[in-house]
Amino acid sequence: MHVSPVREPLINGEKSYKDITNDVMAPIRAKPGKLWFIGLGISMLVMLVGFAMIGYTVWFGIGTWGINRTIGWGWGITNFVWWVGIGHAGTFISAILLLFRQKWRTSINRAAEAMTIFAVMCAGLFPLIHMGRMPLGFFILPYPNTRELWVNFNSPLLWDVFAITTYLLVSLLFWYMGLIPDLGTIRDRMKTLWKKKVYNFLSFGWKGSARHWQRHESMSLILAGLAHHHFSALFCFRSCVFGFCHGAHTHDCYTKSAELPGIYYRWPRGIHEQSDYCYRLHCGNCLHNRAVYGMVQRCGIRALRVHEQGHGTLCLGILDYDDLQRNFTAVAVD
């Protein structure tokens, strides 16, 4: 392993490639322990309660949420944005840090991306269940119909639909693509023929050759570029929209990227072997992200608040660039 003279090693313990492969394979070959089943049981219980409550809402109506005219969304949108924030934290790790060439992200990026996918799924739940008439929710999709009816592309809620769908797809792709070399590794380590065939199929026939690696890296960068685009636009825009919409109060990624070090600090320590891969270096770096998030988010909200109060003109979605610049500078100076 090459050890850099200028910074801490990314992996502790002077491991060889074979050691790394063994470490990565170990949890896959092992049988799940009792704790895992207990954890699964509790989370399934909570999930069932969630489904029951969703059923209650859809059955009886949004009146069960206790919200009212000025606050039309309340917890629905707050939690939605919270989950999207978590997802963003994951994307930040996988996509943006990749673009910034932060090599330390490699050990945690898969978990981060998986977290993103699940977070986006959770987030996607809220636009569905907050609808007054969820069974007719498919109206929001531009499906072919005989009435020549399109959806309303002016509406930010519709942009949400496309945004979340895209986000989920891109994250899925990105996650899967990053998983392909590991699926190849697993295939190589499998003994049974049918398992080998399955993993071969899943890993798209990964050979581990230089050409494959090169393509893998280009694809990662491309997808990172797409995902980052989405991330920045969505993140900044969200802050802006909630500066306007009185119906939502937001605490986005600023807070939620704190989740990430939380997850990574505790979880890998539960899996002893992994503690070499994710430790304080990674957690510390995650915390730096918060500062970046916070600045951008506060700029967004402040820009729009100034805009609203200063001009008093309700123009949805139009940013006043000058205000943004000034504010950005002000916060940076802060």
Partner 1 sequence: MKKKKYWHLLEEFEPLNDVRVAEKSDVKASPTSRRNFLKVMGLGTASAALIASCKRPVEKAIPYFIQPEEIIPGKAVYYASSYFNQNEFCNVLVKVRDNRPIKLEPNPKSVITPNGTSGRVQASVLDVYNINRYKNPQKNGETTHWDTADMEITGQLAQIAGSGKPVLLITPTIISPSTKKLIAEFAEKFNAEWQQYDAIPMDGYRKANLQTFGTDALPEYHFEKADCIVSVGCDFLGTWLSPVEFSGQYAKRRDLHNENPGLNRYYQIEAGMSLTGSNADVRIRAERADYGRILAYIYNQLSAKKGVATVELPALPQEVIQKLYNVINDLAASEGKSLVLCGDNNPDYQTIVNGINQMLGNVGETVRFDRSYNHYRGSEQWKETLLNSDPGAVIVWDVNPVYNHPESEKIKAAIGKAQLSVAISSLPDETSELCTYILPSPGYLECWDDAEYKKGVFSVLQPTLHKLFDSRQAQETLLAWLENDIPWRDYIKNHWTSTWFSQQNEHSEADRFWIEILKSGELVLPAESDPMAFQPGETEKSIQNIAAEKTAEGFTVELVENINAGTGHGPLNPWLQECPDPVTRIAWDNYASIAPSVARQISIKNGDVIQLGNITIPAFVQPGQAEKTISIAIGYGRFTGVPEEIVTGVNVYPLAKIENGMRRFVIPGFAIEKTGRFEKMALIQGHQSMEGRPIVRESSFEKWKENPAAGNELHEEVQHHHTTLYGGYEYKGHKWGMAIDLNKCIGCSACVLACNTENNIPVVGKQESIRHHEMHWIRIDRYYNGDEENPEVVRQPVMCQHCDNAPCENVCPVAATNHSSEGLNQMAYNRCIGTRYCNNNCPYKVRRFNWYDYTGADAIPKNRLDPANMTVDLARMRHNPDVTVRAKGVIEKCSFCVQRIQEKKLTAKSESRPLRDGELQTACQQACPADAIEFGDMNDPNSKVSKMMKNPRNYHLLEEIHTLPSVGYLTKIRNNS
Please identify, using beta-carbon distances, which residue of 9 and 247 lies nearer to partner 1. Answer: 247
3-state secondary structure of 154: coil
> Using CB under 8 A, which of the segments 18-26, 123-131, 200-208, 260-268 binds partner 1?
123-131
Please identify, using beta-carbon distances, which residue of 71 and 177 lies nearer to partner 1. Answer: 71
Cα–Cα dist 86/80, whole Å: 10
Residue 154 is a binding residue for partner 1 (CB under 8 A): yes
Minimum Å gap between C-beta 55 and partner 1 is 11
3-state secondary structure of 290: helix
> Using CB under 8 A, which of the segments 151-159, 211-219, 222-230, 281-289 binds partner 1?
151-159
Q: Which of 61, 205, 225, 262 binds partner 1 (CB under 8 A)?
A: 61
Tokens 């009886």 label which residue? Answer: 60
Please identify, using beta-carbon distances, which residue of 64 and 214 lies nearer to partner 1. Answer: 64
Minimum Å gap between C-beta 142 and partner 1 is 10
Residue 309 is a binding residue for partner 1 (CB under 8 A): no
Residue 181 is a binding residue for partner 1 (CB under 8 A): no
Cα–Cα dist 67/70, whole Å: 8
Q: What is the CA radius of gyration of the chain?
A: 23
Q: Which of 313, 322, 333, 334 binds partner 1 (CB under 8 A)?
A: 313
Please identify, using beta-carbon distances, which residue of 36 and 56 lies nearer to partner 1. Answer: 56
Tokens 């704190």 label which residue? Answer: 258
Minimum Å gap between C-beta 154 and partner 1 is 4
3-state secondary structure of 177: helix
Please identify, using beta-carbon distances, which residue of 57 and 203 lies nearer to partner 1. Answer: 57
Beta carbons of 66 and 116 less than 8 angstroms apart: no
CA angle, residues 44, 47, 50, in degrees to nearest 5: 155
- DSSP states of 233-278: HHHHHHHHHHHH-TT-----HHHHTTHHHHHHHHHHHHSGGGGGTS
Minimum Å gap between C-beta 40 and partner 1 is 33
Beta carbons of 73 and 206 less than 8 angstroms apart: no
Question: Which residues from 194-233 bind partner 1, rule CB under 8 A?
Answer: none
Which positions lie near partner 1, rule CB under 8 A? 58-64, 66, 68-70, 72-73, 127, 130-137, 139-140, 149-152, 154-158, 161, 245-247, 312-314, 316
